[in-house]
Structure 1
Amino acid sequence: MDLVRSAPSFRVGDTAHLLPRTALATGSALLTLEREGVMHAEVSPWRGAGNALTVQLTGAHLPNVVAGVVLVRGAAPGLDERTPRMQVGLANLGVAADQQRLQVQVATNADSYEPGQEVTVTVRLRHGDTPVRGEVALSVADEGVLLLAAYKTPDPHAALYAHHDLAVRTAANWQRLVKPSDPTRHEPDEGGDAAAQTRTRKRFLSSALWLPALVTGDDGVAVARFTAPDNLTAFRVMSMAGDSNAHLGSADRRFTVKKALQIQPVAPRFLSPGDAVTLGALIHNHTGASGTATVRLRAPGLQVALAEQQVQLPADGAVRVPFEATATGDGELTLRFEVALGAARDAVETTLPVVERLRIDRTVAGRGRVDGSAQAALAFDTAGLVDKESHLTLDIDRTGLSALQPALRDLVHYPYGCLEQTLSAWGPMTQLRALATDVPLGGVATAKLDDYLAAGALKLLTFQDAFGHFGLWPGSTPRPGYTVVAMHAIAAAAKAGVVVDTTLVRNGWPALEAWATSAEAASGADLATLALAACTLAEAGKPSDVALQRLGRDRKRLSLYSQTYLMRALHAAKASASQIQAVLDPLVAAVQTTGERAWLPEADEDRDWWWPTADHVRPTAALLTALLAVRPNHPLLPKLAEHLVASAQRGGSWSNTHDNGLAVQALAAWARAQASGEARTWAAAHRNWTVDADAEGRP
């Protein structure tokens, strides 16, 4: 229902007339005055169209009030009027606040000043023709900064007497209780709610002087004094004032800070050591006379070709003076520009940071391997290196873990949390924790690592159902593949000394053993999952003869990747040497080598895992782990480890979390095998590089 106002705006003391547009002829009218709450309410009989409701406006209604009218009519005997009716209308009544405006005058004792001179600001407050005592917020800001932001002097009167939003909601369940709700029915009297709009203001201030509570005397006058700043520009004095009667106003005034002779530095934002640069000094002559000016640049840390120059300055003109310089120092340099023309002088100080050039990180300049007491020489190209700015880092690493930090970081910070991603991070971390007990790992906080592993073990509980099986997500349908990989990681963690919740293993082992001997596993449809299950059970001391016999019969159907797990299962189950050798020989025969690297390839069609295995990283990692268990002195081991490290991407990690997880686990196991014994290392770099050495003990 719309409400027609008798005027677009009102003043204090006016009577507002409201005419509802409605077809209701009789009933009751509830008139309310609302804003932050209900300020007034009255009920009167409603006698149909043409009867206006009246509102007497007072100072309490400044700057606006919302009039609400609710018309209610009960049920009538006529055919079309069996049900009660209720209509609601709102009208925003603006109340002018002109009488609340305070006249503010602001003045300075001069139009312009030189830097360092005292500035006197006088503020006068009046309401009508009468001086008033009030409080003033005084600010002096750089006009240039204000213009950049298109900043206008704030008007507190406009802000405080802006129309208020309606914070009252009118609602009733009358109609819904006595008649069915019909969403397709159109109510012709709906509307009239335009009063509920919101508004947002933003304010930016850069201030040279800020006095938030300057109080005037009874004569309405307040005086503030401050020292003019050194920057030569225009300033705006802004004064916002109010008194105890809520009279508000504002005013501003512009003044300038200038000198007859000015020097303005022209310099870059920063330099780097060795940079050659042309600095500048822009000289403005407002003395009214031409002449020869002396311009100087004092800059410790800069080698200036000509630090003092003579230039001709025209009257009321400007000249740019260049200074050729080279940065010889570093840190923050202080530049002092000076100019003299007769008796006129000016000097300005500014700072110029000298920072190192952008460092270009190179991944690996060279790699080498030292066996026993032998020496290794690494040669690399020094073209393009900058003296005093290039750094050589030598990683002397007996474990191979220096290459794993990016991959570990990627695993820990991977953003998703399904079972596969959780295990891809948690599994390698358990092996890293086991390694940390034998080898001091720089940069690895074992306490934080323990907290991470404990939290991961608790998270794994959310993926396990009441029967011990695991799903990809908490509450999702369990699958044998998920159960197998989860128990494989849990068993490896327990073997590494990580505390695992007993619920995981108490329910998990029976579920895994039952599946490994089930008809589903016997069908041979998922031999890859069965191979990992057999490996997991055997290494946990629970070998499944049924699973091993089935895998032995169908070994040729297994991919090379899955055969590595079969070999580990046979070894852990204490199978005969001939059985183990029968699996080992085809794996070794399939290995490809080049130089010091070796890898186990995997064909594209061999996607026999619950995630695709279409590259050589995971098969190589799986073979490295298997050989460490079955043949710890096999000559392929260092070559497989070297290939895994070399196959990492430029950032130091592999292409996905699966590769990261298996590669880190394999290299951690390899590092643990290499960590025994003591070592002394010494390294030196020549050709003007700083000698950087040595480390003793176990690295």
Structure 2
Amino acid sequence: GVLHTPAGAQVQVKVRDPEGKEIASQQVTLTRYGTFTLDATVPKSARLGQFGIEAVKFAGGSFLVAEYRAPQFRVDVQVPKAELTAGDELTGTVIARYLFGGAMDGAQVQWSAGRTTEDFAPPRNAGFRFGRNTWNWDDNQPAHDNGAFASGQGAIGRDGTLAVKAGKLEAPGDRAARYTLEAEVADVSRQRVAGRASLLVHPAAFYVGLGATSLFVKAGDTLAIPVIAAAPNGDRVDARVHVTAFLRSWHSVRKRGVSGIFETLSEPVEEKAAECEVQSDQDCKLPLAKPGFYNLRAEGRDSAGRLALTTASLYAIGGGFAAWQQNDSNKVEIVADKTSYEVGETAHLLIKSPYPSCRGLISVEREGIADARVVELSGTASTIDVPIREEHVPNVFVGAILVRERVKDGGAEAGDDPGRPSMRFGYVGLKVGTGSKRLKVSVATPKAEYRPREKVPVDIAVSQPAEVQLDAVDDAVLRLTGYQLPDPVSAFFPDHALAVTIGEPLPRLVRRQKFGEKGEVQPGGGGGMGPSGDIRSNFVTTVLWKTLETDASGKAHAEIELPDNLTTFRILAVATTGGEKAGAAQTEVRVSLPLLVRPALPRFARVGDEFEAGVAVHSVKTFDVKVSVDVDGLQLTGDKQRTGHVEAGVAKEVRFKFKAATAGKATVRFRATAGDLTDAVQETIPIQLPVEMEAVAVAGDTTATKTEGLVPPQGVRKDAGGLELSLASTALGGLREAMDQLVEYPYGCVEQLSSRLVPFVATREVERVFGQPPHPDQVVTDTVAKIEALQAPSGGFLYWPSATCPYAWPSIYATLALARA
């Protein structure tokens, strides 16, 4: 829960490519905020894929290197309301606009609608529970629905929209359902972008709410539970509600199995304990006479006869016997009264003890034991309290070990000695909110839209002095991977695993154990526009990457110089203090022009290709626009200038004919002019040679000389390629590259290390026989040492260095490899 900043520490940072090869390594010094920045160049020859970055002994991460074409437009889907009711029509609007603001008339659309059920609670009704809240595996609840609902296609209109009708809405299982309407749009340059929107469908015109009383009530008392009916917007409505309380108990018997060992079987039984019918905004009184587990069912119907159903559960605690579910494990279930807690609250925990009375060791644990105490428990439904402290953020575990001495009567153990000394143990995980660790961060610009090459002032505000990492990235690129603003609090405070184990020998003494089926779940586990003659050629996706430090009031300022991209830039700020608080925020700015050209070029061409390419012209007004093209490295086979009629807000494609004659890079410059408005853009594309590698191998023998004929393939180019001839006395001449792979591959597990060692040793023998220069012995020595380091005290071999148990097959393989070496 408490973090300390290693200010001034020296950290070795390494960057590796997808094959594990190190491409950068640098030692950095942490700032007083515990941060560092590093620029690492990805080689042009590097493989595409996931690259890894590691701050040795501190942290690690990854980033993707990929070929991509940034989208130049965005697709948004709108629905008329965020919430509807079962039986209503599902309609929506697809809006397709270029990132600089223009509409996309005539663009083709494919759309689909899907749904999934979820939980919902009307707002402004804190203190009440709505919907199905029972969580027991045997409640026979309807399964959550998740699947397709409707699909179709259409075209974007001149206003940049398409209306969609998908049919009547449903709410499967009397649950709220989330419907998602998704649309994919293709523009004139055949690029495709998708967008989506969702809405919530309610099963009825109102929800029944039950007062969120404590999960624990006292047995023998009358439960007065408030009952309300609330519309989805939170407004109270008048309705008749019927509430029933069912007491759930488990009938358990011991049955002798085929092995002669007794096993416990438990079956749930429900009986109606109490019921009432009230008008909403009244209390329903339910006498709960016995301790145990109760299911509450509240239902009402709206004017259309649709069912509004809410279920909830609670425990009646106190003296007396509650028939909990029994099994033959040594675990005991612990139930928390809330799903999460804030610092300063107290967690109330129910222990489902199988003993009428016993002694319990209660501990608060995570990396170690933070607190422990011994308590006396009376009854099978006792509770304990655990205060939540700052160091418990973001989660903590509470464990209980119950011990009972030998008893003459009322023993609960299986076998022929039910009263023998026994124990039970269990854990429950408690989530603790991170609100106390979060900074308030805001980032803002004076206006939302700018021109290429303009400067954008950015103001950052943090709730206390902090260091801020500020960056501005083309939103089109971020949308390719669904990138979202990072949450540093979640990174600093991830859920921790329990690092404490129980070493209690009593359950393992003398008696035989019955083990459950594999996979069986056991309880208790818890565990800018420049001058008119400028050509836009400076296209940058990341226009800002800067580390700032706020002043004493938490304020900071930066300035962004925009490139020539016509797009939307997302400005992101991530802040951290010298302590353990962090936060993040973001905003957007749009870059546009009143008249613009957007190239639609192929990604590459080959020598000899003839193709058409051009630009999409956009304008805020209706114009006759002249478009001209100028090229280097390509031949223009048609007109150099064309004139087209461009309507306001509608993209117009203007195409030209080209031929690729020579290899290299081709530069294409387009310019559009309408009155005093003009825009020009320049792009380059690679022109590749249509060549391929051809390899031929022949074999034979001779004691003097021998002639082999070579037939050149058809279409050999004189300006590229060549002939490479290699001779070898054996067929092993091509083995060198394979051997280099054995040396360079970043092996890690025992199977990979053994698979390297066995062929390497064999190949070393071949190299000696044929007089080839051998690979160094250090490879064998290092591999043998790594395999030996994986050997466990038992003699077997671990699969990975982090493993704890050896495995038979890799142990045999590792032994073979070591013997060969």
Q: What is the TM-score with the length of structure 2 in the denominator? A: 0.44
Is residue 45 of structure 1 aligned with residue 45 of structure 2? no
Q: What is the distance in 1 between the residues matched to 2:730 and 2:670?
A: 52
- Change in Cα spacing, 1:422 to 1:245, as seen in structure 2 (3 Å) is closer
Q: What is the distance in 2 between the residues matched to 1:370 and 1:174?
A: 83
Is residue 109 of structure 1 aligned with residue 443 of structure 2? no
Q: What is the distance in 1 between the residues matched to 2:755 and 2:366?
A: 49
**2:446–2:457 contact (8 Å) kept in structure 1:** yes
- Change in Cα spacing, 1:431 to 1:88, as seen in structure 2 (3 Å) is closer
Once the two structures are aligned, what percentage of the paired residues are identical? 26
Q: CA deviation at 1:451?
A: 7.5
| Residue of 440, 454, 475 corresponding to 1:143 | 475
What residue is the counterpart of 1:593 in the other structure? Answer: none
| Residue of 511, 515, 526 corresponding to 1:180 | 511
What residue is the counterpart of 1:229 in the other structure? Answer: 563
Is residue 353 of structure 1 aligned with residue 686 of structure 2? yes
Per-residue CA distance 1:498-521 (angstroms, 9 max, x = gap) = xxx9xxxxxxxxxxxxxxxxxxxx
1:312-331 pair list within 5 angstroms: 312-316=644-648, 317-331=650-664
- Change in Cα spacing, 1:406 to 1:394, as seen in structure 2 (3 Å) is closer
What residue is the counterpart of 2:594 in the other structure? Answer: 260
Q: CA deviation at 1:401?
A: 3.8
Is residue 125 of structure 1 aligned with residue 462 of structure 2? yes
What residue is the counterpart of 2:774 in the other structure? Answer: 448
Q: What is the distance in 1 between the residues matched to 2:340 and 2:761?
A: 69
Per-residue CA distance 1:312-368 (angstroms, 9 max, x = gap) = 342424333333233333333333333333333333332222232232515279999
Is residue 215 of structure 1 aligned with residue 549 of structure 2? yes
Is residue 94 of structure 1 aligned with residue 431 of structure 2? yes
What residue is the counterpart of 1:441 in the other structure? Answer: none
Q: What is the distance in 2 between the residues matched to 1:367 and 1:381?
A: 21
**1:72–1:87 contact (8 Å) kept in structure 2:** yes
1:436-515 pair list within 5 angstroms: 446-448=772-774
Structure possessing the higher radius of gyration over alpha carbons: 1
What residue is the counterpart of 1:678 in the other structure? Answer: none
SS for the counterpart of 2:507 is: helix
SS for the counterpart of 1:123 is: strand
1:287-298 pair list within 5 angstroms: 288-298=621-631
- Change in Cα spacing, 1:309 to 1:365, as seen in structure 2 (3 Å) is farther
What residue is the counterpart of 1:405 in the other structure? Answer: 733
SS for the counterpart of 1:40 is: strand
**2:340–2:430 contact (8 Å) kept in structure 1:** yes
What residue is the counterpart of 2:336 in the other structure? Answer: 5
Is residue 279 of structure 1 aligned with residue 613 of structure 2? yes
Q: What is the distance in 1 between the residues matched to 2:590 and 2:764?
A: 67
Q: Structure 2 counterpart of 1:107, which letter? A: A
What residue is the counterpart of 1:440 in the other structure? Answer: none
Q: Structure 2 counterpart of 1:106, which letter? A: V
What residue is the counterpart of 1:632 in the other structure? Answer: none
Q: CA deviation at 1:260?
A: 1.9
| Residue of 353, 358, 365 corresponding to 1:22 | 353
Q: What is the distance in 2 between the residues matched to 1:327 and 1:404?
A: 42
**1:357–1:389 contact (8 Å) kept in structure 2:** no
What residue is the counterpart of 1:662 in the other structure? Answer: none
**1:368–1:376 contact (8 Å) kept in structure 2:** no
Per-residue CA distance 1:462-484 (angstroms, 9 max, x = gap) = xxxxxxxxxxx9999xxxxxxxx
**1:412–1:425 contact (8 Å) kept in structure 2:** no
What residue is the counterpart of 1:562 in the other structure? Answer: none
**1:16–1:54 contact (8 Å) kept in structure 2:** yes
Q: What is the distance in 2 between the residues matched to 1:157 and 1:381?
A: 65
- Change in Cα spacing, 1:474 to 1:111, as seen in structure 2 (3 Å) is closer
What residue is the counterpart of 1:72 in the other structure? Answer: 403
Q: CA deviation at 1:225?
A: 0.9
Q: Structure 2 counterpart of 1:43, which letter? A: V
Is residue 338 of structure 1 aligned with residue 671 of structure 2? yes
What residue is the counterpart of 1:35 in the other structure? Answer: 366
**2:764–2:774 contact (8 Å) kept in structure 1:** no
Q: Structure 1 counterpart of 2:599, which letter? A: P
Q: Structure 1 counterpart of 2:395, which letter? A: N
Q: CA deviation at 1:47?
A: 3.5
Q: Structure 2 counterpart of 1:151, which letter? A: Y
Q: What is the distance in 1 between the residues matched to 2:759 and 2:392?
A: 62
Q: What is the distance in 2 between the residues matched to 1:404 and 1:244?
A: 61
Structure with a larger share of its residues in strand: 2
Per-residue CA distance 1:472-497 (angstroms, 9 max, x = gap) = x9999xxxxxxxxxxxxxxxxxxxxx
- Change in Cα spacing, 1:19 to 1:380, as seen in structure 2 (3 Å) is closer
Q: What is the distance in 2 between the residues matched to 1:33 and 1:349?
A: 65
Q: What is the distance in 2 between the residues matched to 1:180 and 1:53?
A: 31
Q: What is the distance in 2 between the residues matched to 1:422 and 1:110?
A: 65
- Change in Cα spacing, 1:427 to 1:159, as seen in structure 2 (3 Å) is closer
SS for the counterpart of 1:52 is: strand
What residue is the counterpart of 1:62 in the other structure? Answer: 393
Q: CA deviation at 1:290?
A: 1.0
SS for the counterpart of 1:448 is: coil
**2:473–2:544 contact (8 Å) kept in structure 1:** yes
What residue is the counterpart of 1:495 in the other structure? Answer: none
Q: What is the distance in 2 between the residues matched to 1:245 and 1:26?
A: 47
Is residue 167 of structure 1 aligned with residue 482 of structure 2? no
**1:411–1:424 contact (8 Å) kept in structure 2:** no
RMSD (CA atoms): 4.6
Q: What is the TM-score with the length of structure 1 in the denominator? A: 0.51
- Change in Cα spacing, 1:366 to 1:36, as seen in structure 2 (3 Å) is closer
SS for the counterpart of 2:773 is: helix
> In the comparison of the two structures, how many residue pairs are matched?
424
Q: What is the distance in 1 between the residues matched to 2:729 and 2:405?
A: 84
- Change in Cα spacing, 1:192 to 1:139, as seen in structure 2 (3 Å) is farther
Q: Structure 2 counterpart of 1:210, which letter? A: W
**2:543–2:562 contact (8 Å) kept in structure 1:** no
**1:275–1:326 contact (8 Å) kept in structure 2:** yes
**2:767–2:774 contact (8 Å) kept in structure 1:** no
**1:9–1:93 contact (8 Å) kept in structure 2:** yes
**1:66–1:92 contact (8 Å) kept in structure 2:** yes
**1:135–1:214 contact (8 Å) kept in structure 2:** yes
**1:266–1:282 contact (8 Å) kept in structure 2:** yes
Q: Which moved more, 1:328-337 or 1:256-265?
A: 328-337
SS for the counterpart of 2:605 is: coil
Per-residue CA distance 1:591-633 (angstroms, 9 max, x = gap) = xxxxxxxxxxxxxxxxxxxxxxxxxxxxxxxxxxxxxxxxxxx
Q: Which moved more, 1:112-121 or 1:276-285?
A: 276-285
SS for the counterpart of 1:336 is: strand
Structure with a larger share of its residues in helix: 1
SS for the counterpart of 2:668 is: strand
What residue is the counterpart of 1:153 in the other structure? Answer: 485
- Change in Cα spacing, 1:194 to 1:156, as seen in structure 2 (3 Å) is farther
What residue is the counterpart of 2:636 in the other structure? Answer: 304
SS for the counterpart of 2:513 is: coil
Q: What is the distance in 1 between the residues matched to 2:426 and 2:738?
A: 60
Q: Which runs of 5+ in 2 are unaligned?
A: 1-331, 412-416, 528-540, 743-751, 785-812
**1:366–1:379 contact (8 Å) kept in structure 2:** no
Q: CA deviation at 1:384?
A: 4.2
